Amino acid sequence: MKHLTLGTTALLAGLSAIALPAAAKDLTITVWAGGSSDADAFRIDNIKTAAEILSAEYAIMGEELNITVEGRRDFGGWEEFKQGVTLAAEAGTAPSIVVSSHLDIAPWSQAGYIVPVEDYLDFDTFPLNDIYPNLLEIAAYNGIQWGIPQDAESRPFFFWKDTMRGIGYSDAEIAALPERVAAGDYTLQNVLEDATKAVDLGLVEKGYGFYPRPSNGPDYAQFYQSFGGMLQDPETNKLVLDKQSMQEFYQFFVDAVEAGITRKNHLGTDWGQWYNEVANGKAATWHGGTWHYARYTGKEGNDDFFGTIEFSLIPSGDANGRANTVTHPLVYLVTNQADDQDEEIAAQLIKIASGPRLNSLHAIKSAHLGIGKQQSNIELYAGDQWASEATERLLSTANAQPNHLSYGAYSEAMFKGLEASWTGAQSAADAVADLETELRAKLGDELIVR
């Protein structure tokens, strides 16, 4: 019984099963959270809290429900996590609740690994009706609400203030950067120039003028958008390969390498080293995520974030492009289980965990952004400078990557092309030609080439 497929007979069976006076029910809910470090522990712990609340509610209704929550987040990287979830789902041993990228909704729903939470939850009720509609939209696919956003974030561009001062920016000019970026007045070409200056003046080492994320991630879609690229056609919902934007995007990284502001071998840099370097001013400019705030000010010991770092949207690439930022929320998903009632309880748990109070615990602890409007009425959240400034400056313009069956293939191929041109294995033009071949073969009708 997957979701509402049931014929009437099956339905009746289901209803009577639920209506029966329930004896004490013992249930184990497993939660797997991907890409989660210690700071993200509330992704699991909130489900535990929710289980206590739900048990109490059931007790009041006269039913005894004992929920044991087992959480797991020690997967290595995203690669191992997704491999694990996928194979477990194939084998029928998937965890009850998964915290993963919203991009997984399309393939996982098509494969039948997850069930729509809208089959179990009333989105007209609190706290679901309090969640930002655009975030809910990101957790929906094909008009169906498959999951609930677990957090929000966006991916800003960072400037190290001291270095910017060193190349001649006044404090006022630095403070004006975010607005200039947003207006399209300060572009990636300016980044190239300023970063080159910083390297030439010896303010940062060679290769540290522009210090991008060292591995694949949604961040790179931003630079494609910076050059006017579009990921999905809003009319047809097909994915779009804008060859010119793609090539300009690749070329920007080639130019950065040639200018000596980015290392040719940058991809693959150890994350630990990377965090430490950007948090302490070794790089002039870089890009990252809003959640980096927790790491910079925590483990890496930058006590004066706002005094040392300026942040903005990702600048537009040229006059045709636009400044932008991608938000890549993680979502709570309920997997397809043998017992419909398990799915229902899992859905109720993630609903409770999405309340403003519980979600704020996660948001503030891990420096993510909240999911609901009421969180501004939670003191813990409202009192946090980063959460409020980042929300204001970034989230209003943030767009998400498309939930599309083939977006995984699209983004892998896009990154492979970037990697090839960045490291000099191919010219940007050749890489785009390859990308086109690959995407045409893999996506067929689902691709629009411009």
Partner 1 sequence: MTANFRSMPVIALLTIVSLPLVIMYVFTLVDTFTNTEPGSLVPNEFTTEHWRFLWSPDVGRGSVWVATVNTFIFASTTALIVTSISVTAAYALSRLDFPARRFFLSGIIILHAFPTITLIIAIFLILQWLGLFDTLIGVIIVKTALELPFGIWIMKGFYDTVPWEIEMAGVQDGASRFMVWHKLVLPQVQPGLAALLIFSFLSGWSEFLLPLVLAPGSDSQVLSTYLAYFLLDDSLEVDFNLFKSVGLFYAVPVILIYLVFQKKLMNIYGGGSKG
Partner 2 sequence: MSRISKPRFNWLGLGFLAPAMIVVVLFFLAPVIMTAFFAFTNMSTSTGITGGDYLLSQSDLRSLANTKASAATLDALENAGYRVDDAGLARLAEAQGPATADEFRKLHEGDLFTSRRDMERALKDLRQHRIRSTRDRKLAAELFTSSVMDQRFDTEEAFRAALMTSGIEAADHDTLVDEAYTGWIWTTKNIELLASLSSSWRYAMNTAIYVSFTLAFNVGFGLFLAISTFYLSPRVAATFRTIWFLPRVLPPVLYVLMWYWLTWDTGIISTLAGYFGVAPRNWMLDTGTNAWVVVILINGFVGASLGMILFSSAIKAIPASMLHASEVDGANRWQQVRYIILPQLRWPILFTSSYQTLSLLTSFEYILLATDGGPGGTTEVWALAAYHTALNNYGGNLQYGLGAAYALVLVVIGIVTSLLYLRFFNFRELVSKPRIEQ
Give the CA dihedral 11, 15, 16, 20, nearest 10 degrees: 160
Among 270, 304, 379, 392, binds partner 1 (CB under 8 A): 270
Please state the closest distance from residue 289 (CB atom) to partner 1, in A. 13
- Per CB under 8 A, the segment of 44-52, 236-244, 265-273, 363-371 that binds partner 1 is 265-273
Is 64 or 74 the residue whose CB approaches partner 1 more closely?
74
* Residue 426 in contact with partner 2, rule: CB under 8 A: yes
Q: Report how many residues bind partner 2 under the rule CB under 8 A.
A: 76
Distance CA 353, CA 350 (A): 5
CB atoms within 10 A of CB 7: 7
Alpha helices by DSSP H, listed for 184-308, are 188-200, 219-226, 243-258, 271-279, 292-297, 305-308
Please state the closest distance from residue 438 (CB atom) to partner 2, in A. 6
Please state the closest distance from residue 389 (CB atom) to partner 2, in A. 29
**Tokens, residue 254:** 């080639």
Among 111, 142, 237, 271, binds partner 1 (CB under 8 A): 271
438 binds, among partner 1, partner 2, none (CB under 5 to 8 A by kind): partner 2
- Per CB under 8 A, the segment of 107-115, 189-197, 289-297, 389-397 that binds partner 2 is 107-115
Is the CB of residue 95 less than 8 Å from the CB of residue 342?
no
271 binds, among partner 1, partner 2, none (CB under 5 to 8 A by kind): partner 1
Among 120, 159, 169, 286, binds partner 2 (CB under 8 A): 120
Residues 406-425 that bind partner 2 (CB under 8 A): 407-409, 411-412, 415-416, 419-420, 422-423, 425
- Give backbone dihedrals phi and psi of 326, rounded to 5 degrees, phi first: -100, 135
* Residue 215 in contact with partner 2, rule: CB under 8 A: yes
Please state the closest distance from residue 203 (CB atom) to partner 2, in A. 17
Residue 159's region, left for phi above 0, alpha for psi from -120 to 50, else beta, is beta
- Give backbone dihedrals phi and psi of 404, rounded to 5 degrees, phi first: -145, 140
Distance CA 42, CA 36 (A): 10
38 binds, among partner 1, partner 2, none (CB under 5 to 8 A by kind): partner 1
Residue 86: CA atoms inside 13 Å, Cβ hemisphere, count? 12
Distance CA 382, CA 373 (A): 11
Cβ contacts of residue 64 below 8 Å, gap of 6+?
22, 23, 24, 25, 58
**Tokens, residue 276:** 């430490």
93 binds, among partner 2, partner 1, none (CB under 5 to 8 A by kind): partner 1
**Tokens, residue 253:** 């990284």
Is the CB of residue 321 less than 8 Å from the CB of residue 245?
yes
Residues 281-320 that bind partner 1 (CB under 8 A): 299
* Residue 173 in contact with partner 1, rule: CB under 8 A: no
- Per CB under 8 A, the segment of 48-56, 91-99, 285-293, 338-346 that binds partner 1 is 91-99
* Residue 37 in contact with partner 2, rule: CB under 8 A: no
Please state the closest distance from residue 36 (CB atom) to partner 1, in A. 8
Binding site for partner 1 (CB under 8 A): 37-38, 72, 74-77, 80, 83-84, 87-88, 90-93, 215, 270-273, 299
